[in-house]
Structure 1
Amino acid sequence: MISAQAWSDAVRLWDFHQMRHEPRPCSVAVGLGSHDLSVADTTVELYRRDMAPLIVFTGATSRTTQGRMPRGEAVHYRDRALELGVPERVVLVEARARNTGENIRFSRALLEDAGVDVTSVLLISKPYEERRAYATACKLWPGVEFVSASTPMTFAAYVESIGEPRLVLDMLVGALQRLLVYPEQGFMTTQSVPHDVTAAYERLCRAGYTSRLVLG
Structure 2
Amino acid sequence: MTVITEADRDDARLLWDYNLMGHQVRPCPAAITLGGCDIGVATTAAELYHAGAFPLVVFTGSTSAATREHFPRGEAVHFREQALALGMPDDAILLEPNATNTGQNISFAREVLAEGGKTPDSVLLISMPYMQRRAYATCRKLWPEVEPVCASQAVTYDAYAKEQEDEKTLIDMMMGDTHRVMEYPKRGFAIEQQVPEKVCKAFDRLRVRGYDTWLLRD
* 1:109 aligned partner: 111
> Which residue identity lines up with residue 81 of structure 1 in the other structure?
A
Give per-residue Cα distances to partners, 1:4-54, cap 9 Å, x unaligned: 111100000000000010100101011101110110011111111111000
Structure 2's unaligned 5+ residue stretches are none
* 2:145 aligned partner: 143
> Which residue of 48, 53, 59 corresponds with 1:46?
48
* 2:64 aligned partner: 62
Structure 1's unaligned 5+ residue stretches are none
> Which residue of 112, 123, 133 corresponds with 1:131?
133
> Which residue identity lines up with residue 83 of structure 2 in the other structure?
A
> Normalising to structure 1: TM-score of the pair?
0.99
Distance in 2, Cα, partners of 1:64 & 1:73: 11
> Which residue identity lines up with residue 65 of structure 1 in the other structure?
T
Give per-residue Cα distances to partners, 1:75-133, cap 9 Å, x unaligned: 00000011011110110010000010000000001111111131110000100000000
> Which residue identity lines up with residue 89 of structure 1 in the other structure?
D
Give per-residue Cα distances to partners, 1:144-202, cap 9 Å, x unaligned: 01100100001111111112100001011111111111001100001100000000000
The SS at the match of 2:131 is: helix
> Normalising to structure 2: TM-score of the pair?
0.98
> Which residue identity lines up with residue 68 of structure 1 in the other structure?
H
Q: How does 1:75-86 map to 2 (within 5 A)?
A: 75-86=77-88
The SS at the match of 1:47 is: helix
Distance in 2, Cα, partners of 1:4 & 1:157: 15
4+ runs of 1 displaced by more than 3 Å?
Answer: none
Q: How many residues align?
A: 216
Distance in 1, Cα, partners of 2:191 & 2:93: 29
Q: Percent same amino acid among aligned pairs?
A: 46
> Which residue identity lines up with residue 31 of structure 1 in the other structure?
T
The SS at the match of 1:103 is: helix
